[in-house]
């Protein structure tokens, strides 16, 4: 018997897996980037099914928005063409495909044998959260916010410092070497 919840889960899951496989199959990086965006959008749908509204919104804004725009921008900037096959990649295929299958089978076996018929509740669980209005959804910004700014305040501030360091590092790494009169060094082999 299929519930609406299960049907939506299967639909989003099918999109996510199809996008992930397409990322592997495509040769051109821009096609891989677009299929990765499809995966992330499908995962945002899964988060909504799990009641994680805030995480779903952040997933779309930060991952599918900011990070993937950065990827597409770099692909366009560097004019990345189709990847050429080399001898090294044959070895990687020999280990990669069986490794993927082995990992999938192992995870499937562990998950399917060690779990009963427990289901993930989709609705509201207000009784476990103290200090929030009972009618609010568990994953909404209304409940995430107080948690983030009280219990997890220190990690939150540390991540802001991390972002600052990342910004400065990216600027330093991506800026042109500014030795007057000398062109950037080219390494050829």
The smaller minimum CB distance to another protein, of residues 174 and 180, is found at: 174
The smaller minimum CB distance to another protein, of residues 88 and 181, is found at: 88
Burial readout 123-149 (b: 16 or more C-beta within 10 A, e: otherwise): eeeeeeeeeeeeeebbbbeebbeeeee
Q: How many CB atoms lie within 10 A of CB 1?
A: 3
Given candidates 11, 153, 157, 162, which one binds another protein under the rule CB under 8 A? 162
What is the four-CA torsion angle of 117, 122, 124, 129, rounded to 10 degrees? 60
Q: How many CB atoms lie within 10 A of CB 46?
A: 17
Given candidates 11, 142, 170, 182, which one binds another protein under the rule CB under 8 A? 170
52 binds another protein (CB under 8 A): yes
**Hey, what are 173's tokens?**
């790494």
Lay out the site mask for another protein across 10-49 (x = CB under 8 A, - = otherwise).
---x--xx--xx-xx----x--xx--x--xx--x--xx-x
Closest CA to 19 of 84, 77, 63: 63
- Binding to another protein (CB under 8 A) within 97-156 occurs at 97, 99-100, 103-104, 107-108, 111-112, 115, 117-122, 125, 128-129, 138-139, 143-144, 147-148, 152, 155
Lay out the site mask for another protein across 73-92 (x = CB under 8 A, - = otherwise).
-xx-xx-x--xxxx-xx--x
Q: Are 146 and 131 in contact (CB under 8 A)?
A: yes
Size of the site for another protein (CB under 8 A): 95
């Amino acid at each position: 018997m299929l519930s609406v919840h299960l049907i939506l889960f299967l639909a989003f899951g099918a999109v996510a897996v199809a996008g992930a496989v397409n990322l592997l199959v495509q040769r051109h990086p821009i096609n891989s980037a677009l299929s990765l965006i499809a995966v992330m959008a499908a995962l945002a749908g899964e988060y909504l099914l799990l009641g994680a509204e805030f995480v779903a919104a952040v997933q779309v804004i930060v991952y599918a928005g900011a990070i993937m725009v950065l990827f597409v921008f770099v692909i366009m900037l560097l004019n990345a063409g189709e990847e050429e096959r080399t001898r090294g990649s044959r070895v990687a295929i020999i280990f990669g495909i069986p490794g993927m299958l082995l990992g999938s089978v192992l995870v499937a076996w562990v998950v399917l044998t060690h779990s009963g018929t427990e289901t993930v509740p989709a609705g509201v669980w207000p009784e476990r959260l103290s200090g929030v209005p009972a009618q609010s959804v568990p994953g909404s910004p209304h409940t995430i916010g107080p948690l983030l700014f009280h219990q997890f305040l220190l990690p939150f501030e540390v991540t802001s410092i991390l972002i600052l360091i990342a910004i400065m590092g990216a600027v330093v790494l991506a800026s042109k070497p500014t030795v007057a009169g000398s062109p950037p060094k080219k390494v050829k082999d």
